[in-house]
Amino acid sequence: MRVWKSIAEWRTHRETIAAKSIGFVATMGALHRGHAALVERCRAENEIAVVSIFVNPSQFNDPNDLARYPNTLESDLTLLQKLGVDDVFVPTAAEMYPQGYRMKVQPDERYRIMEGLHRPGFLEGVATVVLKLLEIVRPEKAYFGEKDYQQLMLIRDLVAEFFLPCKIVACPTVRAESGLAESSRNALLSPAAREKAPVIHRTLCTAESIEQARASLEAEGFRVDYVEEHAGRRFAAVFLDGVRLIDNVALCC
Ligand code: AMP
C-alpha cells in the first residue's frame, strides 16, 4: 500500500496505472465498519482501490467540531492495508487549498434543507472538496454512504452538473446491532450517551410523524436540530452530549 501526500507525486503514479479501473472512497479518517464496507466494495469492484483521508476544514461551520474531530491515522492505515487498498491519499490542507478558498462550488437554494440549512457552508465545503478529490484521483467509480444521504444526493448532482466521468455508487448505512449508525463521532460519546444513541434510529423507524419523532427525541433528552421527510425518507440531526449525530431511514422500514 502506498501513501501519498503530494498531489503531483500521486498524479505521476496515476499515469502508470491509467489503463486500470480505479475505485475511490473519500473519508475523513477515524475509520469504522461503515467506512470498511465502502472500501470492501470498492476493492471488489475495481483493479485499483484508492482511499483518501482528509479532514476538510471548509465543511466545518463549528471550529470546536473541527478541533475535536477524532484522528486515528496510524490505525486507519493499518485497517486499509488489511482491506487490500492500493493507494491512500493523505493531503494537508495547504496541499488541497494552496490559494485558500479562491473558488467554491455553490449549491443553489434547492439544497437549503436539512444539513444545507442547519450547517451553513457545509454542503458548499463538501461539494468543493469532492470536486477537487475526484479531479485528483480521477476514479471510474466512487463510493459514498447512505448514512450521509443529502451529501450523497449532492455529489450525484455535482457529478452530473460538471459532467464528471465518474459513477457514484451508493452504499447502505452500516449499523451496530443496537441500530445506531456507525459514525466517527460515536467515539466522542460518553458510555451513557452511547447507550442512549440507538433511540435515534428506533424513533425514526417507529414514530408516526415528524412531530411525534421530534417530541419523543426531546423527551429522551436529545436536542433536536431537525426531523424532516423528503422523497420517501425520514431524516434527523440531534445533539447528544454536545455531539451532533445524523441518521435517516426509508419510510417503509
Ligand atoms: P466521513 O469519514 O464521515 O466523511 O465518511 C466517509 C464516507 O463513509 C461517506 O461516504 C459516508 O457516507 C460513509 N459512511 C460513514 N458512516 C457510514 C455508515 N455507518 N454506513 C455507511 N457509510 C458510511
Cα(161) to centroid(ligand 1), Å:
23
Q: Which atom of ligand 1 is nearest to the CA of 172?
A: 21
Residue 218 CA: distances (Å) to CA of 7, 114, 140: 46, 18, 43
**CATH for 212:** 3.30.1300.10
Measured from the CB, is residue 76 less than 6 Å from ligand 1?
A: no
Q: How many domains would you assign to the chain?
A: 2
Please tell me whether residues 68 and 7 are part of one structural domain: yes
Please choose, from the candidates 218, 174, 225, the residue with its C-alpha nearest in 3D space to the C-alpha of residue 196: 218
Residue 96 C-alpha to ligand 1 middle, in angstroms?
21
| 213 domain residue, yes or no | yes
Cell output for 209: 410523524
Of 101, 100, 90, residue with least CA distance to 7: 90
Mutate to test the pocket of ligand 1, among 147, 178, 182, 201 (most ligand atoms within 8 A of CB): 147
Pocket-testing residue among 35, 52, 71, ligand 1, by greatest number of atoms within 8 A of Cβ: 35
- Residue 178 within a domain: no
Tell me, yes or no, whether 95 lies in a domain.
Answer: yes
Instruction: Examine the fold and report which residue of 125, 146, 171 is the final residue of a domain before the chain moves on.
Output: 171
The predicted-structure confidence for 189-217, as pLDDT tens digits, reads as follows: 999 999 999 999 999 999 999 999 999 99
Give the residue whose CA is nearest to atom 18 of ligand 1.
34
Is 177 a domain residue? no
The answer on 47 and 149 residing in a single domain is: yes
Catalytic residues: 35
Q: How far is the CA of 25 from the centre of ligand 1 (A)?
A: 9
The response to whether residue 171 sits with its C-beta less than 6 Å from ligand 1 reads yes
The verdict on residue 253 lying in a domain is no
Question: Is residue 188 located within the same domain as residue 167?
Answer: no
- Cβ burial of 145 (10 Å; 0-12, 13-18, 19+) is buried
- 219: containing domain: 184-247
Q: What does the pLDDT look like over 15-49, one tens digit per residue?
A: 999 999 999 999 999 999 999 999 999 999 999 99
On whether both 62 and 167 belong to a single domain, the answer is yes
- Tell me which residues of the chain have a pLDDT lower than 70: 253
Predicted model pTM: 0.97
Say yes or no: 22 and 96 in one domain.
Answer: yes
**For position 71, which CATH number holds?**
3.40.50.620
The answer to whether residue 252 is domain-embedded is: no
What is the whole-number distance in angstroms between the Cα of residue 247 and the centre of ligand 1? 11
Ligand 1, atom 11: nearest CA belongs to which residue?
145
Query: Are 204 and 164 within one domain?
Result: no
Residue 61 has what pLDDT? 87
In a domain, 141, yes or no: yes
Do 127 and 18 reside in the same domain of the chain? yes
Is 176 a domain residue? no
> What is the model's pLDDT at position 253?
55
Pair 189, 214 in one domain: yes
Supply the pLDDT for residue 252: 81
129 and 236 part of one domain: no
Give the model's pLDDT for residue 69.
92
Q: Is the CB of 59 under 6 A from ligand 1?
A: no
Spatial contact of 197 and 189, defined as CB atoms under 8 Å apart: yes
Question: For the residues of 84-103, what is the DSSP string, one character each?
Answer: T-SEEE---HHHH-BTBSS-
Within 8 A by CB and 6+ apart from 248, the residues are 146, 147, 149, 173, 204, 233, 234, 235, 236
Report which ligand 1 atom has the smallest distance to the Cα of 174: 20
SS3 at position 217: helix
Residue 58 and residue 131 share a domain: yes
Domain boundary among 114, 143, 171: 171
